[in-house]
Structure 1
Amino acid sequence: MFNRLEVRVLPPGSRWAAQLQLWIDGEDVVAEAVGEGGRGPYAEEALPTNGRGRLWATGERRRVVLGEPACTGGCCGFLSVFVQRQGCIVEWSDWQLPGSEARPRTFRFDADQYDVEVARASSDWASTQ
């Protein structure tokens, strides 16, 4: 069974540029990990536009920063995960949480649905530019 990813683009605020909320199976994974006042990844960095954003999954396993606490990632650490496409599956694994060691939880997404969701969020963000 696959997990379900939902990407929400938040408008820019007084402190940060447009950023993302990342929901897996109905749970805001960034807010849970970084706490009140933290932030998700910047839309400009995470979403594919003219190239490939960080959320775009390829066959190369690479660490992607998904957020940081209000005190900044330089202070308490970043929320990050390895993202990799493996055939018809996109896998998020080997989580690192601010202030703690890696968490072994793994999420697996249907690659086609993942691509559609990331493309939809990219389109939403691009239409506000």
Structure 2
Amino acid sequence: MSTRRRQELALRIVVPEAGWVQVRPVVDGRDILAEPPVGWLGEDPWVALGPGGVGAVDEHPREVRLARISCTETCCGALYVTVRREGDEVVRGGWRNPAGGSADLP
């Protein structure tokens, strides 16, 4: 029997009044980019959901960038998640920040 806690990961497309269209990862109803550490910018929908992103997920794990900080990802950070398909569900693995900062997210 699996002890894995089921969580809902939704990817919302947001069009702010100022700025650009972005994908916002929402876990169990919480916009995780709105929580500390602040400064995360949701990824462009084409990058996060397009051919190299979540939209192309299959049974093989795929790492997808969902957010970044304003400068380069190796300096200030980015937010990656690993996803794979299990039947008709997409399963999320761990979060990763290539700058080594906090990626301790739900």
- Give the TM-score taking structure 2 as reference length: 0.70
- Residue 27 (str. 1) matches residue 30 (str. 2): yes
Higher strand share: 2
Q: Which residue of 2 aligns with 1:41?
A: 43
How many residue pairs were aligned? 100
Name the CA distance, whole Å, in 1 between partners of 2:54 and 2:17. 22
Higher relative contact order (CA 8 A, sep 6+): 1
Q: CA deviation at 1:9?
A: 1.3
Maintained 8 Å contact 1:31/1:39:
no
Q: Which residue of 2 aligns with 1:67?
A: 67
Name the CA distance, whole Å, in 1 between partners of 2:22 and 2:31. 13
- Residue 100 (str. 1) matches residue 104 (str. 2): no
Deviations for 1:9-55, whole angstroms, at most 9, x for unmatched residues?
A: 1226655x31111111011123336513x21111122224xxx3512
User: What amino acid sits opposite 2:15 in the alignment?
Assistant: P
Name the CA distance, whole Å, in 2 between partners of 1:29 and 1:23. 6
Deviations for 1:76-107, whole angstroms, at most 9, x for unmatched residues?
A: 1211111111224322112113543665x7x8
Structure 1, unaligned stretches of length 5 or more? 108-129
Higher helix share: 1
Structure 2, unaligned stretches of length 5 or more? none
Maintained 8 Å contact 1:18/1:42:
yes
Maintained 8 Å contact 1:7/1:20:
yes
Instruction: Go from structure 1 to structure 2 and tell me whether the alpha carbon gap of 1:40 and 1:76 turns closer, same or farther (over 3 Å shift).
Output: same
RMSD of aligned Cα (Å) = 2.9
- Give the TM-score taking structure 1 as reference length: 0.60
Q: 2:15 aligns with which of 11, 18, 36?
A: 11
